[in-house]
Every structure is written in C-alpha cells, then in structure tokens.
Amino acid sequence: MVTTKELAAPSLWDQEIETMPRQELQRLQLERLKRQLRRAYDLVPFYRQRFDENDIRPEDVHSLTDLRHLPFTTKGDYRNNYPYNLLAVPLREIVRIHGSSGTTGKPIAAGYTRNDIELWTDLMARTEVIQGVTPDDVFQITFGYGLFTGGLGHHYGAERLGAIVIPAAAGLSRRQLMLMEDFGTTVLCGTPSYALTLADTAAEMGIDIRKRMRLRLGIFGGEPWSERLRDEIEARLGIKAMNNYGLAEVMGPGVSAECVHRCGMHIAEDHFLAEVVDPETGEPLDYGQEGELVITTLTKEAMPVIRYRTRDRTALNPEPCKCGRTMVRMSRVLGRTDDMIKVRGVNIFPSAIESILLEIDGLSPHYQIVVDRDNKHVDELLVRVEVTEAVHKHGQDGVNELESKVRTELRSRLAVSANIRLVGPNTIPRSEGKAKRLVDLREM
C-alpha cells in the first residue's frame, strides 16, 4: 500500500533534491547521463547505429557540455521505430504503454517499467506540491484518460501526496460543473482552453463559479497559452492558474512546473537534462536565449531518450528562485517551431496573434487562424475571433470598427496583413481537450 509522503516543507516534496547546490546537481546529472548513454548504446540498436554513424561512443562524454556532440532524436524516429524498437528492456518488463493520440497516423508510443511508473508517480507528487496542491485538496482532472499521459500522470501524483482525486476525464461540461460543486473541488486540472469552455458553460447555466464553487487553484498544460489567457481564466474562475509542462516522449507531465512565484517552470533536472538549441542549426544557445527545447532523460528505464527535439520554443534561466529551488527554470512555451507559419515571407507564431487579440477589449479568448492560398497562389491569412456579448448586441457598426482595430494592430505589430472576421459568441467550436487554433489549408 502506498502511503502519503511527509512534506519536507510547505512547498517542497524532496528538499534535498529540489534545493541541491548546482555544482552537486550537475555531478548527479553527469553520473546519470553516463549511465543512460551506456544503456542506450548497449541495449537499443537505434541508438547504437546513430552513435556509430556519428563516430561517438558513450565513453567520449566526459562533461555535460559534451552532450552537444551527440545526435538528436526526433518524432520521426519514434514513428520509424514504432512500436517497440526503442525499448531498452524486454517486453515482459513493460507494464504500461502511453503515447500520443495518433490522430494523424500511428501514435508516438512510450513504454514504462514498474520502476518508471513509481518514479513518475513520485515526480508528479513533487510537481503538484510545487504548484500549491496539498493533501487537503479535492483534485478534479479534466484531461483525457488513456494513451494520453496527462490524466493518469496527474491522477497518480495527486493520490500519492494524499489529495482526493476526481477522475472526471474530458468533456461533458455540465456534468463537470455538477461534480465540481457537489464534491467541493478545490483544484481544477486540464488544458487552459477547456477551463474557458467550463467558464462559458457556467455562464450559459447562470452559475457564478466564484460564488458557488470552492475552486482556488488551476493546474493547466497540454498546449501553449499566453499570460493574457491566464488573466482571463483567473478572472472568470476566481482561481490562481498555474502552468506545467511535459510530453509523452520523455515521460509525460512532470518535466517542469511553476511554483507560487510564477517566474518560470522549474525543470526536474535530476530526471531531465534540458538544452535550448537554435531551431535552424541545432547549435546550443546560452541561458536566456529563446530557441527549441531539447530533453535527455536521465532516469527513464524502459525507453531512454537522448537529445529529443521537442519543437517547443522556450528559454532557460539558471538563477535560484525565491522559493529556494535551485533547478533551472524554463519560460512558458512560446509556441512550437513546427507551428510557425510563413505568410508572404513573414514568420508568424499563433501565440503572438493570441497575445494581441487578448489585449483588445470587446474580443473573447476564442479564436481560430486559417491560412490558405487564393487562385493566384498568394498566401492569405484569416483570423476569426468571437466578440463579447456586449459588442454583439451593439450592432454591426461596432463590429466593423473593432475589425478595423484588430487589422491595424496585427499589421503594425506583426508586419502582416490579415483578413479579420469577427463572429458572434459561441460560434467557434469549443474544445474538450487541446484547442485547434491553427488551420493551414495550404497543406490539404
């Protein structure tokens, strides 16, 4: 029987690890890295071949900076080795398979040994304590359960630290609100876009969440979101909204999480070695420079991962945090390198458009970006945004004026001309999982 672990401090799960001096932490990382490289080379034919092709051996790595000489792993490598060719243990030692949803083909598959599940559970308890969860909380999970790691990852962690878990899963928003009120939910866990869907549903039902619910905290991840969107969620739900990060390829949630100071997400560096590289050249970047996050697993047993290119854009900060933790912090994910769209020669990230839209009064946080080509093969950018109920009631003149303002803001701040289409409330489909903000019809 798993027992609740005694908290080392009000906001620390493992004080020795989380406050370890950086020099000592880096010694631990190097020790674990060497062991992981040796296992990957000896036990995974894919890595042995990739290392040999690059004329490098595990024993050539003498310091953390030598990591830059190792080859990358990409999502394509997962697909090419689907389902079991990246495993470093026999199948009889695998107790769980997680991965992506596989909506665009074969899923990304990740195996776990019993030891991996135990390690992940403890890491998730640490993650949730970092974000302010306590054994007294009622923790409602609106992530999907199944192959997706978000639901079960948070579930196991919250149970480990002693909270009451409501495994509500995704969707059925009216039922979610009923459970939230009846069971006295204090922590909401899911995607930020679904938090807004719940807020919209509550408004339709005439429910004032701030008055009728006991919610105090939201733990959100699974998709990029902006500070403006955080403000919107906090205002509508009356909670403190926290950001966390993870991906199935390296473990699931638990890679990094914000503490109460919300000045970046603390990476669990005893388990994950993080780099930021130039997306074009692959060369490592210095602390503070924005680029693509690359992760090497240091403790994953079933499937060691060497220099995985996440395609997520961020920057790293090594300075100690006011909370006392010494582990490197990553900025919120600013978008994905593979989500960047080029329209008439201009590079545009959906997150940049979102930030501008959320600054403009009269617009709701529900939007969609559509890229297409006209009959002359010229790129066209369409931004569809819902207006608030007040603007909608004001009439078409107010909508037209607001459209002009949005068009001007995007042109002046992003140097791109866009067609703006403002639509009425509840026009753009709501998400019960990850929101689909970008539709690129040029690829269809």
Please identify, among 337, 353, 371, the residue that sits at the C-terminal boundary of a domain: 337
- Alpha carbons within 13 angstroms on the beta-carbon side of residue 376 total 3
| Residues 331 and 374 both lie in one domain | no
Q: Are residues 311 and 355 in the same domain?
A: no
CATH of the domain at 43: 3.40.50.12780
- CA separation for the pair 152, 54 (Å, rounded): 38
Same domain for 325 and 365, yes or no, is no
Claim to verify: residue 297 and residue 416 sit in the same structural domain: no
Instruction: Give the model's pLDDT for residue 8.
Output: 42
CA pseudo-torsion sign 64, 112, 331, 154: negative
Domain identity same for 202 and 79: yes
Residues 372 and 316 in one domain: no
Distance CA 50, CA 42 (A): 12
337, 370, 405 — which closes off a domain? Answer: 337
At 370, give phi and psi (nearest 5°): -120, 125
Strand 291-297, strand 346-348: pairing: unpaired
Query: Which residues, listed in sequence order, are joined to residue 98 by a DSSP beta bridge?
Result: 110
Q: 3-state class of 30 per DSSP?
A: helix
User: What does the alpha-carbon distance between residue 149 and residue 130 come to, in Å, rounded to a whole number?
Assistant: 19
Tokens of 124: 């998730």
Q: Which pLDDT score, from 0 to 100, does residue 222 have?
A: 86
Rounded to 5°, the CA angle 96-220-186 comes to 100
Considering the domain architecture, whether residues 313 and 392 belong to the same structural domain is answered as: no
36 and 82 together in one domain? yes
Domain with 125, as residue range(s), is: 1-337
Contact 181, 213 (CB under 8 A): yes
**Cα 230 from Cα 224, distance rounded (Å):** 11
Amino acid at 404: S
- In a shared domain, residues 125 and 29: yes
333's torsion region: left (phi>0), alpha (psi -120 to 50) or beta? beta
Last residue of a domain, which of 337, 367, 398? 337
Dihedral sign for Cα 384, 385, 389, 393, please: negative
Question: Are 137 and 264 part of one and the same domain?
Answer: yes
Please tell me whether residues 283 and 349 are part of one structural domain: no
CATH number at 384 reads: 3.30.300.30
pLDDT in tens, the chain (444 residues): 334 444 444 479 999 999 999 999 999 999 999 999 999 999 999 999 999 999 999 999 999 999 999 999 999 999 999 999 999 999 999 999 998 765 556 788 999 999 999 999 999 999 999 999 999 999 999 998 989 999 999 999 999 999 999 999 988 999 999 999 999 999 999 999 899 999 999 999 999 999 999 999 999 998 878 888 899 999 999 999 999 999 999 999 999 999 999 999 999 999 999 999 999 999 999 999 999 999 999 999 999 999 999 999 999 999 989 999 999 999 999 888 877 777 776 777 787 888 889 889 999 888 999 988 776 667 889 999 999 988 888 788 889 999 999 999 998 988 878 899 999 998 988 766 677 788 888 654
* pLDDT at position 9: 41
Number of domains present in the structure of the chain = 2
Residue 3: its pLDDT value, please? 40
| Domain identity same for 16 and 128 | yes
Lookup: tokens for 4:
């609740």
Identify the pLDDT of residue 6: 46
